[in-house]
Amino acid sequence: MATREARSPFDRLRKHYEETTLRCPECGYVDDDGEWRVTARGGQVNYQHICPRCDAIDTRVLKYG
Ligand SMILES: [Zn+2]
């Protein structure tokens, strides 16, 4: 019985976000050096990025489980 652990949809999504260009939805600024701030709680993960130019907060929510 071959059990090859597939990556969960959550892991794939997380990778997708980590590779996504951080572009501010407000002013269009591309934050090349930026990172998502990740907080996980109660079956969901919040990704947050604050634009260094205009302080707009871009939030994505991942739900899993
Ligand atoms: Zn901005």
What are 20-43's pLDDT values in tens digits? Answer: 789 999 999 999 989 889 899 888
Tell me, yes or no, whether 38 lies in a domain: yes
- Say yes or no to pLDDT of 64 above 80: no
For ligand 1, the distance from its centroid to the CA atom of residue 37, given in whole angstroms, is 16
Confidence of residue 59 (pLDDT cuts 50, 70, 90): very high
Tell me, yes or no, whether 25 lies in a domain: no
Q: Which domain holds residue 41?
A: 32-65
Tell me, yes or no, whether 50 lies in a domain: yes
Kindly state the tokens that stand for 62. Answer: 């991942």
- CA-CA distances (angstroms) from residue 48 to 1, 2, 4, 5, 32? 41, 38, 32, 29, 15
Tell me, yes or no, whether 19 lies in a domain: no
For ligand 1, the distance from its centroid to the CA atom of residue 48, given in whole angstroms, is 13
For ligand 1, the distance from its centroid to the CA atom of residue 35, given in whole angstroms, is 14
Q: What is the pLDDT of residue 30?
A: 95
For ligand 1, the distance from its centroid to the CA atom of residue 61, given in whole angstroms, is 19
If one counts the domains in the chain, the total is: 1
Confidence of residue 6 (pLDDT cuts 50, 70, 90): low
Tell me, yes or no, whether 18 lies in a domain: no
For ligand 1, the distance from its centroid to the CA atom of residue 4, given in whole angstroms, is 42
HSE-CB at 61 with a 13 A cutoff on CA atoms is 5
